């Protein structure tokens, strides 16, 4: 395998850490540069198992700093970018949209421009180069809940269980018109447009994937699943937005990382691929699975933590249903999820219960103080 210098942004975050780990372990001939600004969501402890690998390097930097991006890309002779760094939490975007525009839009633009300038300066220009942008299904907007009780899902994959349900007739396909509703999804939509514009205008080799909700180890406990596992453990209320009827399509994070690996190596330039497991869950049903799994693993009686469910005011502009049609990726590149949802959720709950120290650390903010002092000279 030829050597490559790959810049992975956001590698200290949830999905990024799984992508970095996969690439570092699977491709010893690649140099993997993890670029992350270590915001509240970035945590180098997520990568402690590979931090000393000879093909791994961490760089603390802000993607919105164009000069720094230019320097890092040039110095490391980057030929591939896998861009995950972002502000990623919808509720935060409702409170502070500006940081989402800065990081997700301006940051992506700075990274694109820096890669373009470096690749333009090389004799072989865009040959064997790729700027791969990781995006979300939220850019497509919301689907209707036409089957509120659920009907047998028309498509299945390993990720979906045998009695999996679909809650509507429509699915997001790669050509679905963008219709973002939250400041988060608006900023991601904008960044997707810039990535495609750099291909269409300058011929830069870019590619975009849009994935559904991920779950698994190392997710910051502000997102539904780790937040609720942590709250159940500590007998805290579980804030269910609205009636808990919103539907999300859940994929185990390692299956997303495997898709990213496949698409980075085999995907067609300028294409878009949707990634998802045909695994729709109503929030309230998913929450009940999480509660019963945590209770069982903690040795609590069945139904013990159900009383923690607390219905709260809905998220403003709360998208009703997301459901990804990933058949293009399955047909063209042969990807499929490796893990059934029941196995994935069991693994995930176990991981959080066994990593109480990790949860404590990221919720106390201690790790942030530690890294702030570690990089104070920059």
Residues 105-144 vs ligand DAU: string with x where CB under 6 A? -------------------------------xxx------
Residues in region 66-95 near ligand NAD by CB under 6 A: 84-88
Is 261 considered catalytic here?
no
Residue 297 CB, nearest distance to ligand DAU (Å)? 21
Give the count of residues interacting with ligand DAU (CB under 6 A).
19
Q: Among 68, 138, 192, 325, which one carries the catalytic annotation?
A: 138
| Residue 241 binds ligand DAU, judged by CB under 6 A | yes
Residue 175 CB, nearest distance to ligand DAU (Å)? 18
Token digits for 76? 């490391």
Cβ neighbours of 128 (radius 10 Å): 11
Q: In terms of CB distance, is 113 or 136 closer to ligand DAU? A: 136
| Residue 62 binds ligand NAD, judged by CB under 6 A | yes
Return the bridge partners of 80, or none: 6, 130
| Residue 254 binds ligand NAD, judged by CB under 6 A | no
- 39 makes contact, choosing from ligand DAU, ligand NAD, none, with CB < 5 to 8 Å by partner type, with ligand NAD
Residues in region 309-348 near ligand DAU by CB under 6 A: 315, 322
| Residue 69 binds ligand DAU, judged by CB under 6 A | no
| Residue 40 binds ligand DAU, judged by CB under 6 A | no
- Binding residue (CB under 6 A) for ligand NAD from 7, 33, 38, 324: 38
Answer yes or no: are the C-beta atoms of 113 and 291 closer than 8 Å: no
Phi-psi label, residue 299: left if phi above 0, alpha if psi -120 to 50, beta otherwise: left
Residue 218 CB, nearest distance to ligand NAD (Å)? 8
Q: In terms of CB distance, is 78 or 240 closer to ligand DAU? A: 240
What secondary structure, in 3-state letters, does the chain show?
A: CCCEEEEEECCCCHHHHHHHHHHHHHCCCEEEEEEECCCCCCCHHHHCCCCCCCCEEEEECCCCCHHHHHHHHHHCCCCEEEECCCCCCHHHHHHCHHHHHHHHHHHHHHHHHHHHHHHHCCCCCCCCCEEEEEEEHHHHCCECCCCCCCEECCCCCCCCCCCCEECCCCCECCCCCCCCCCHHHHHHHHHHHHHHHHHHHHCCCEEEEEECEEECCCCCCCCHHHHHHHHHHCCCCEEEECCCCCEEEEEEHHHHHHHHHHHHHHCCCCCEEEECCCCEEEHHHHHHHHHHHHHHHHCCCCCCCHHHEEEECCCCCCCCECCECCHHHHHHHCCCCCCCHHHHHHHHHHHHHHCHHHHHHHHHCHHHHHHHHHCCCC
Residue 253 CB, nearest distance to ligand NAD (Å)? 8
Is 192 considered catalytic here?
no
Region from 1-9, 95-103, 163-171, 239-247 binding ligand DAU, contact rule CB under 6 A:
239-247
Strands of 272-275's sheet in order across: 56-60, 30-36, 4-9, 80-83, 130-136, 206-211, 272-275
| Residue 14 binds ligand NAD, judged by CB under 6 A | yes
Residue nearest to ligand DAU (CB): 136
Q: Among 140, 184, 198, 215, which one carries the catalytic annotation?
A: 184
How distant is the alpha carbon of residue 96 from its chain centre?
A: 20
| Residue 183 binds ligand NAD, judged by CB under 6 A | no
| Residue 182 binds ligand NAD, judged by CB under 6 A | no
- Binding residue (CB under 6 A) for ligand NAD from 33, 63, 90, 359: 63
| Residue 174 binds ligand DAU, judged by CB under 6 A | no
| Residue 283 binds ligand DAU, judged by CB under 6 A | yes
Residues in region 244-263 near ligand DAU by CB under 6 A: 246, 248
With CA atoms as reference, report the closest residue to 65 among 16, 38, 102. Answer: 102
- Binding residue (CB under 6 A) for ligand DAU from 57, 60, 70, 89: 89
Region from 18-26, 48-56, 110-118, 221-229 binding ligand DAU, contact rule CB under 6 A:
221-229
Footprint of ligand DAU (CB under 6 A) = 88-90, 136-138, 212-213, 223-224, 227, 239-241, 246, 248, 283, 315, 322
Q: Which residues are catalytic?
A: 137-138, 184
């Amino acid at each position: 395998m030829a050597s490559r210098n790959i810049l992975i942004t956001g590698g200290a975050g949830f999905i990024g850490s799984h992508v970095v780990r996969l690439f570092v372990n699977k491709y010893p001939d690649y140099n993997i540069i993890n670029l992350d600004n270590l915001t509240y969501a970035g945590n180098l402890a997520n990568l402690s198992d590979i931090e000393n690998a000879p093909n791994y390097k961490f760089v603390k930097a802000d993607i919105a700093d164009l000069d720094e991006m230019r320097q890092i890309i040039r110095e490391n002779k980057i030929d591939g970018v896998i861009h995950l760094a972002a502000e990623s939490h919808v509720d935060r975007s409702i409170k502070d949209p500006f940081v989402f525009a800065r990081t997700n839009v301006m940051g992506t633009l700075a990274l694109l421009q820096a890669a373009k300038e470096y690749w333009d300066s090389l004799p072989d220009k865009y040959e064997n180069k790729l700027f791969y942008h990781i995006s979300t299904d939220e850019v497509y907007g919301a689907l209707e809940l036409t089957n509120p009780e659920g009907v047998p899902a028309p498509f299945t994959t390993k990720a979906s269980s045998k009695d999996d349900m679909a809650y509507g007739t429509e699915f997001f396909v790669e050509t679905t018109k963008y219709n973002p509703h939250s400041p988060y999804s608006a900023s991601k939509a904008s960044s997707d447009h810039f990535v495609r514009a750099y291909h269409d205008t300058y011929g830069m080799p870019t590619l975009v994937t849009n994935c559904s909700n991920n779950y698994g180890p190392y997710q910051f406990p502000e997102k539904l699943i780790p937040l609720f596992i942590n709250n159940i453990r500590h007998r805290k209320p579980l804030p269910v937005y609205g009636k808990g009827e919103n539907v999300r399509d859940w994929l185990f994070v390692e299956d997303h990382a495997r898709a990213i690996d496949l698409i980075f190596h085999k995907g067609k330039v300028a294409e878009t691929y949707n990634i998802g497991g045909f695994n729709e869950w109503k929030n309230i049903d998913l929450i009940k699975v999480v509660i019963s799994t945590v209770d069982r693993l903690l040795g609590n009686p069945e139904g013990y933590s159900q009383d923690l469910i607390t219905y709260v005011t809905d998220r403003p502009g709360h998208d009703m249903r997301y459901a990804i049609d990933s058949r293009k990726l399955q047909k063209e590149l042969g990807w499929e999820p490796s893990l059934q949802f029941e196995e994935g959720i069991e693994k995930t709950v176990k991981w959080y219960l066994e990593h109480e120290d990790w949860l404590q650390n990221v919720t106390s903010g201690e790790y942030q103080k530690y890294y702030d002092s570690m990089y104070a000279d920059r």
